[in-house]
Chain A
Amino acid sequence: MINKEQPLLMDQSKKGRKAINLPGFGVPETKLPDSKFLRKEIDLPEVAQLDLIRYFTNLSSLNYSIDTNFYPLGSCTMKYNPKVNEQIAGINGFASSHPNQLDENIQGNLEIMHDLQNELGEITGLPAVSLAPLAGAQGEYAGLLIAREYHIQNNQGNRNIALIPDSAHGTNPASASMAGLKAVTIKTTKEGDIDLEDLKANVNENISVLMLTLPSTLGLFEPNILEITKIVHDNGGLVYADGANLNALLGITKFGELGVDICHSNLHKTFSTPHGGGGPGSGPVMVAKFLEKYLPYPHIKKEGEKFLQYKPEFSVGRLNGFYGSFGILVRAYAYIRSLGSEGLREISENAIINANYIQERLKNHYELTSSRRCMHETVLSASKQKEDGVKAIDIAKKLLDEGFHAPTMYFPLIVEEALMIEPTESESKETIDRFISSMIKISELSKTNPKEITNAPLNLPVERLDEAQAARNPVLTWEKQ
């Protein structure tokens, strides 16, 4: 393995080197502000252009990515990020488009946003859509703000509780907390379905919303969904669906037809926009028609042949500086337009078949969390392997050595030694078979030679990190050696 260690830029820096030439002022100089406002020196690295390019290029080669590796990170939907979408987002008319222009000068952008609002509304069955939220968590927050405002307008401002299943993603209670809602946990069954008795015991006149992930964080479809949404509605609450797992539902079923009032979607998951190492994302919020007047602003509408931005009557407010993550919206819209209705349904169909295939072939090697058919992802437990001293984290690290990015581990919290596998529809059967072979090999190794797993990874640029040290003595910026 070539040593790819890369010293930091400040350690490579040499005075006098430069990576770019800049033009002169070209105008008469004006007296600078008073010296008390002026900076004396700046500490930044000085490197030549080739060294800079070589540095970042070599760093990139240290990453696993969808473009290079199978990346079955459950609940993250690591599907192929089409190159044509990158090209489209880079069109000058979009990339150079300043957001403070008057509506009449940006009709193309507003039309794209308006059409995307409609397409997402049709896909989810929740027709009123805001593209403003900049990530799923912000979409959740927007959804909760909408629920609170709705209740206030209906003289039910006392409603201050969010019911959240114990299997929920951490952003759910965190968003509830930001919205001033008390998070009350609802029990789920071993298979992650809502415990109906526990739900009934906890609904009352103080509940604002029930926050559900559908399919659940165990990758299963909630069989009692219609009864659940009815229970909540009968008690005056609203139902919020976390759409992180929407890749299982495109053309399969619609949130709006299941009794959901509000949902969000992650464009960087279901709609193929690139994950970027941790963003940018986009988290549009979709609501039933009766909630449209609460959407964040600016919202886009069409009047005659013109597209306009406006502030809905009881808008919950402004969530960001401009319109949302427009470059990401363009990519998502391009993806939807390249597939159409039938294409999107095929996406979910293949995502579900691929996940079930993995579940079926691994069921004799790893403990399943359910015997039911999964949706687009399957959650396995490494509880059998734990008896031999091999935990989920060890299996994850060994998979890295096998050339695969690991699945999501230790989530959902209700499953012991969880490994959440989401292949997506992007993967060929050959890739999936190779992954399955590695998983089976690891399962056998855990009996015959567990050390080979607990010592992993051995084939990567670095081996296991001392994360305790990173947290005990945080070194968060470059320090002079």
Chain B
Amino acid sequence: MSEIPKNLKYSKDHEWVEINDNVATVGITLHAAESLGDIVYVDVDSIDKNLNQFDKFGEIESVKAVSDLFVPISGKVIEINEALLNNPEFVNEDCYDKGWIIKLEINETKDLDELLDSEEYEKII
């Protein structure tokens, strides 16, 4: 069983989030990446938008499937990982680091209470 990073928080939809001051970095978990298969395209059309927790922020496509992406925490989408445009396979290769998808500017962290820690996430997969 692969390592689920302990420093991250997780949503039931298999997104992870890492908080650094008022910036949250979001991606999908290894479980999600493995279920989808080889990622071919990541589509985020919510740059500069203010989103509520669990709003849809984009879509991720593999060869045979497409999945909606939901923000695990409220905030404003301030950055998209441009590297994924030419290298969507980064999500398969390293989903917790170079495969990050968006960064959000956040105001508050009480949304984190709705999320799971690494042990709780491991239970649901």
Contact = CB atoms under 8 A, between A and B. Distances in A.
Contacts of B88: 472
B121 interface: no
Contacts of B15: none
Interface string A469-481: 0111000000000
Contacts of A470: 63
A416 B75 CA distance: 38
A91 interface: no
A472 B40 CA distance: 5
B90 to A, nearest CB: 11
A8 interface: no
Interface string A440-456: 00000000000000000
B89 interface: yes
Contacts of B40: 468, 471-472
Interface string A368-401: 0000000000000000000000000000000000
Most chain A CB neighbours (cut-off 10 Å) among B40, B41, B61, B88: B40
B91 to A, nearest CB: 11
Nearest to B92: A468
Interface in A389-427: 410
Q: What range describes how many residues of B lie at the interface?
A: 10 to 19
A410 B62 CA distance: 15
Interface in B28-63: 37-41, 61-63
A470 B40 CA distance: 9
Contacts of B89: 468, 472
Contacts of B64: 410
Nearest to A466: B38
Nearest to A467: B63
Contacts of A410: 64
A174 to B, nearest CB: 13
Nearest to A474: B40
Nearest to A393: B64
A410 B64 CA distance: 10
A471 B62 CA distance: 8
Contacts of A472: 40-41, 88-89
A170 B69 CA distance: 21
A468 B40 CA distance: 6
Interface string A210-239: 000000000000000000000000000000
Contacts of B61: 471
Contacts of B37: 468
B62 to A, nearest CB: 8
Contacts of B63: 467-468, 470-471
B64 to A, nearest CB: 8
A410 B63 CA distance: 14
Contacts of A467: 38, 63
Most chain B CB neighbours (cut-off 10 Å) among A410, A467, A470, A472: A472
A131 to B, nearest CB: 35
Most chain A CB neighbours (cut-off 10 Å) among B38, B61, B88, B89: B38
A471 B41 CA distance: 8
Nearest to A471: B40
Contacts of B41: 471-472
A467 B38 CA distance: 9
Contacts of B62: 468
A426 to B, nearest CB: 30
B38 to A, nearest CB: 3
A474 B87 CA distance: 13
Nearest to A472: B40
A412 to B, nearest CB: 15
Nearest to B87: A472
A468 B61 CA distance: 10
A366 B25 CA distance: 45
Contacts of A471: 40-41, 61, 63
Interface in A124-176: none
19 contacts: A410-B64, A467-B38, A467-B63, A468-B37, A468-B38, A468-B39, A468-B40, A468-B62, A468-B63, A468-B89, A470-B63, A471-B40, A471-B41, A471-B61, A471-B63, A472-B40, A472-B41, A472-B88, A472-B89
Interface of A: 410, 467-468, 470-472
Given A468-B62, A471-B63, A472-B40, 9 more contacts: A410-B64, A467-B38, A468-B38, A471-B40, A471-B41, A471-B61, A472-B41, A472-B88, A472-B89
7 closest pairs, A vs B, by CB?
Answer: A468-B38, A471-B40, A467-B63, A472-B40, A468-B63, A471-B63, A468-B40
